[in-house]
Structure 1
């Protein structure tokens, strides 16, 4: 992949894949025009990509040009997402998903990155995104593995009522229909309870006598759980309802990923990106993030890095090596355990203890230097920032952004 160096490209181009390989950078005309106007209106020619990412994130937070800002930030995060996808693909090489799959999975959830990022912490949006992208990819992979290996009947038994209701609402069902489907599902779970201790992921379809018992359970409960005049149900209707529940649950828990370059439905030309409004407002440059504020955050970020580097240097060599293996070598905890001839839970505990040690150093510095008391919310933010810093510190060197 050829890295971008020009600000105009960084905030207006998107990766395009052929099979599982990067094909080219595709430019979005509306975003390019928007960025060109802002660059021309700016009185400072040496502003960095980080500065502009903070500017667009502020616009996104303020609901000012939000869709345009989101487009610029999605373009900005393309490289961070790509390298994280590549690392995830290497780490989980046994998965059937490739780099392009992981990339699309993560970029479809870029809103979570924008909502979770706090520019006041002084960290880099790309580093934060890399850490969060990795978490989103792993969680999606875990969910998909679980769903892929489950039969419809096993999935229905694993499903919670809350998730089922959410899935049916997402499917567009009215409330009275949802109530009927939920009653069918609760009747299914009450009657169909296999006793095998293992192999429940591949549960077979219930036998005929079980279906009859489920229908009887439904019909007994319908007058109290539904409307008094609710119709009785047949075995055939019951099976159809439960199959619809399973289909809705899979679609809700395992949504299809749509590329932002996908043609809009029913049209031969045009992409989803074309729906970004053409609303450039040059006057917004007057509200740009003050350079002094950016410099203050950069200074704090540098100080935090120094604190954490000092804390890492104080660790014993095996602990330093463990951090290096986990954050830079794309090894899973299980692979590290095999390499070091230890148990996986031992590696997990040591990593947790090391993070706690570094978090304590960060909290102490914050209290002494910034006079911030480390309450639960602050510690949660620091923990996220620590993971972000470790990912950036041990990860590949940053791309040249000018």
Structure 2
């Protein structure tokens, strides 16, 4: 729908014109435009202003910044003037960024011109859509380079030239039906939408719910509008109607509790067609305001604002040191660091407490890489005996780790705290969080529903009991049993992680000791390992092991 174009505030000075980008915000139902500083661009200008005499003099010219524009154009296209030692290595890339943010105003004036003069009668278009498309053009490196390559400073200012080019390009795109907010919503990837929503201030679990809602809206919109036989080729993407949103909402509600649905979605409520429409408008707004790479990737502000969801880390050693052996107060980072050190120290003490023969077996097996048959030949025993001794050593160390982590003592409190704080938006980089989410997926439907109402919707016990048609004692019994299942699943997962931790720690410490032994003896590992050499390395490794501290 056609909306009034908000007033464009001025950037304070020439530095701002080359270091500030535009944001569109909604203030009490009305759009407002604000400028935000890109810190690394501002500091780059300050650097040149303090070190480059010609550049500094351009700020005193009364040419409305045309000299500065030409300075950055020469650097961007020709890498001129010759680079000095104090200049950044990526000065050409920075020059392009300065020119890009400078042209933000041209995007605004192109959008304002199109919305007020050309398509004012088109109720389905708004200046925000034109602004979005214009910004996409200048933030696309290839297209922006093509635009500036044809610029002649003798004919017009850069502002006037870029504005005219943007108006022409947008009109051409609109003529072939490529320009529509519904096409934008349909074509953008989940990754781009997720980034846009994050930059717009959305968080989990809302982002996951938006993504799933968009998935089913796309399916309905594809069938009802895009592939509709009544739609002519080249016709603009149609406005979805209430029936489309209602149908998409039905799909969303039917799928949200399936095992394949994201956990964040399963914790929410059913949605209506109007609620889904509102969600899609939020997605569109986010995409329009933040096209891909709308700010430089190395922006400090962008890095602080991004909320990318980390993929689970397969490096169990690092994860366990950070996440596994924590006490009930998870936030106490000082206690966590102390516990990590205690883990290493305790394991090392247990290693030193082993019998001499047991230490030799560990160093031969994990450090020197001998197989069980080779070790058995050295000690003149059977391979089964060596396998049994290795298992005995590992079990002793596992008991040490289990006693240190004390899972039964903190798991119950951890599960209760996790349900209260992280049930709706778990942290998938944390293996314990991930284990709890998987355990929830395996619960009975009624148990999942109880958790969803109690921790997802934060309803009190009486409301939940009434909604499920059970008594409060029955509800509390179900909740208790459900928590017990989660605790049991978590303890089992911790046992698995502890075992994996040990399987990483033993080779790590053994190989480090053997490596030091080779170095002390001046022997290369690539040399043929005779029995005499192996015995020398083993003897030196035992000395290092007993002289080292954790």
User: TM-score, structure 2 length as denominator?
Assistant: 0.28
Question: Higher relative contact order by CA 8 Å / sep ≥ 6: 1 or 2?
Answer: 1
Report the TM-score, using the length of structure 1 for normalisation.
0.37
